[in-house]
Amino acid sequence: MHHDRAVHAELPAKDTAAPKRDPAAATAASPVQPAPPIPSSAAAFGGAQFEHGTDAEMIERRVRTVTPLVTPSPGPGASSTLRRDILYALRTVGPASPDQVADRVGASRTGVLQQLRTLETGGLVTRSLSRHGVGRPRHVYDLTAAAQELFPANYGALTQSVLTAIRKVGGDKLIAEVFEARREILRARIGRRIEERLPANASLWEKVKEVATYEDETGYLGRATRDADGTIRLHEHNCAIYGVSGTYQIACAAELQLFGEVLGAKVTRECHIATGGRSCTYLIEPADK
């Protein structure tokens, strides 16, 4: 594996360990400062957008930003966050008042209400008024559609079953047509991105960095490196379609062709995750070389 110079190797400081939650007190926020508003569902759980970095930094950032909901439902004594417990409660029980949520998760009403407001600011829960007989109406909270993205999904199995069905219907010829269509879609998407974000006379290195950024955003842990002698490589430290690429090797062939087309360059795969490599690494050279 090549030890190349990393691009944009800045990384935020490490998160400190979260304090244990006291069910009798407001929690999941600093005792001095209230929990800050969050702009998105990823930020609700400490997630953030990161630049490329070294291998160790990329692994660390994925561990620190992994969605904490992709685990079994928390039981008594589980070291889960209060926000996660609240989302699970609303998911399993449905719309509920702060008091009802507090009873469900075993925390104080004050702490739960604070986190509900933070989650509402982040667009993960919504609040409405509910009337029950006489008396003042009460606020009821429920999940928004955006919160669905935080819960476990099994898209890999769905993809495998769909591809199996496609092969059964049309054989390998239809499978090839499906991956060809996918390649054309990605080529148009990445090509449009390069046109919009880079000048018309952008260098090959600038284009590779943009492609690496796109790959990083789509789960491949993408990184672009350039050696002292100018040699350029595109690295994927994770295979986001690993469950498919083993059975349908045409997916990897289509990716190799895709990079050559969007970069207008000669692309050579030097390392391959599907065949046991630690990464998918591509040597990028000018087309006329």
Residue 173: partners with Cβ closer than 8 Å, 6 or more residues away: none
- Reported as a single tens digit per residue, the pLDDT across 103-134 is 999 999 998 998 899 889 888 899 998 777 66
Angle at 191 between CA 189 and CA 195, to 5 degrees: 120
Map out the domains of the chain with their CATH numbers: 43-150 (1.10.10.10), 155-286 (3.30.1380)
240, pLDDT greater than 60:
yes
171, pLDDT greater than 90:
yes
Contact 226, 284 (CB under 8 A): no
Query: How confident is the model at residue 135, as a pLDDT?
Result: 67
Query: How confident is the model at residue 20, as a pLDDT?
Result: 43
Query: How confident is the model at residue 76, as a pLDDT?
Result: 39
Query: How confident is the model at residue 31, as a pLDDT?
Result: 41
Kindly state the percentage of the chain with pLDDT values over 90.
46
Query: How confident is the model at residue 147, as a pLDDT?
Result: 85
Q: Kindly indicate the confidence band of residue 179, based on its pLDDT and cuts at 50, 70 and 90.
A: very high
Contact 114, 38 (CB under 8 A): no
Query: How confident is the model at residue 229, as a pLDDT?
Result: 96
Query: How confident is the model at residue 159, as a pLDDT?
Result: 85
- Work out the average pLDDT over 219-235: 95
Q: What is the DSSP letter of 46?
A: T
- Work out the average pLDDT over 229-258: 90
